Amino acid sequence: MRLIILFLIGLVFGVGISIGGMANPAKVVNFFDFAGTWDPSLIFVMAGAVVVTFIGYRFVLKRPAPTMDVKFYLPTRRDIDLPLIAGSAVFGVGWGIAGFCPGGALPALGTGRSEVFIFVGALLAGIFAAKFLQSALAKRASAQA
């Protein structure tokens, strides 16, 4: 039952990404191209998603726990560090080059287009490479300590 509900939640997300235009790299890149073929549509995606989530979270997070789990798994860090800023900047560079972000590309896989599979393959390679690098850096840091 829980897994069926989670599948439906993923489905709603996938439909939202699809009709919002986030699965279409041409639309995504045009959103950022003020000097060229600018398409402001995606500000409506961001605004709709953030406002609904902001309001919804107010109600949900007042409850002691989620309905089908023991607790809320919320990020607790509040510090601004170099990996956060550098990583986000690097992500932006990749997003500008390819036009897909992870949340846009996963639903786009459903269209069966080969370009999406190529992007997601490269995305997974990048995640693995970064995780390897992260653990190597952590080992070096603990060896120095």
Partner 1 sequence: MIETAFTPYASLGGGILIGLASVALMAVAGRIMGATGILAGLLQPSNFADWSWRAVIVAGMIAGPFVVMLFTGEMPAVQVPVSTTMLIIGGFIVGVGVTFGGGCTSGHGVCGMARVSPRSIVATITFMIATIITVYVVRHIFGV
Nearer to partner 1, 36 or 144 (CB): 36
Nearest distance from C-beta of residue 27 to partner 1, angstroms: 4
User: Per-residue contact track with partner 1, 4 to 43, x per CB under 8 A?
Assistant: xxxxxxxxxxxxxxxxxxxxxxxx-xx-xxxxxx-xxxx-
Q: Which of 47, 138, 139, 140 binds partner 1 (CB under 8 A)?
A: 47
Nearest distance from C-beta of residue 143 to partner 1, angstroms: 21
145 is a contact residue toward partner 1 (CB under 8 A)? no
Nearest distance from C-beta of residue 67 to partner 1, angstroms: 5
User: Per-residue contact track with partner 1, 92 to 121, x per CB under 8 A?
Assistant: xxxxxxxxxxxxxxxxxxxxxx-xx-xxxx
Q: How far apart are the first and last CA of the chain?
A: 48
